Amino acid sequence: MADESARPRADWRARARRNAAGDAHATFLLERGNEPMGMVDVYQPSLAPEFREVAAMWVAPALRGTGAADALLDAAVEWARTVGAIGVRLWVVPDNTAAVGIYVRHGFTLIGDPESDTDDDPAGRVYVPMLLTLDKEEAALPTFITRALAPWTDESG
């Protein structure tokens, strides 16, 4: 997410303000002084509305390994709980061991096979789906994982 660090400060704040209302989308920022140092963007996928999806997460290199990513992910998961989501899903590049480690530490598990993203990613990176279950009763249903694996959709803008 190197392009996130190049965003102007006003763009970060506009995104957070736009996503601050309602239960379909949230953006959490981490700032040091007035400088954006991290963000996590979470939304309600249209094909799996009972879930929330971590669509983007970035931490400035100076704050990596300090717990900043944990704080951002905690905020995203807590927001998902408060809006009644039954799980939080995400897609991660499997060889990004730091990111995978953070997600596993927070209780996310792999739920599917790697998939190549040739439509949105010119590099054709491979991603794996991960899921954090928030509702044990829903997780016991035979359709839970199938619903969690609904296609990636983000109409949030």
Give me the average pLDDT of each 10-residue run along the chain (157 residues): 54 55 85 88 92 93 93 96 96 94 96 80 83 97 94 60
Pairing of strands 109-110, 115-116: unpaired
Report the pLDDT value the prediction gives residue 120, as an integer from 0 to 100. 65
Q: What pLDDT is attached to residue 147?
A: 94
Burial environment of residue 116 by CB neighbours within 10 A (0 to 12, 13 to 18, 19 or more)? exposed
Q: Do β-strands 35-43 and 51-59 pair in parallel, antiparallel, or remain unpaired?
A: antiparallel
- Residues 92-103 as b/e (b if ≥16 CB within 10 A, e otherwise) read beeeeeebbebb
User: What pLDDT sits at residue 23?
Assistant: 84
Please report, for the chain, the start and end positions of each structural domain, with discontinuous segments joined by +: 2-148
Task: Specify the pTM.
Answer: 0.82
Q: Which token pair is 120?
A: 């949105």
**Residue 33, pLDDT score:** 85
Question: Taking a C-beta distance cutoff of 8 angstroms, is the pair 54, 41 a contact?
Answer: yes
Superfamily of chain region 2-148? Gcn5-related N-acetyltransferase (GNAT) (3.40.630.30)
Q: Residue 53: helix, strand or coil by DSSP?
A: strand
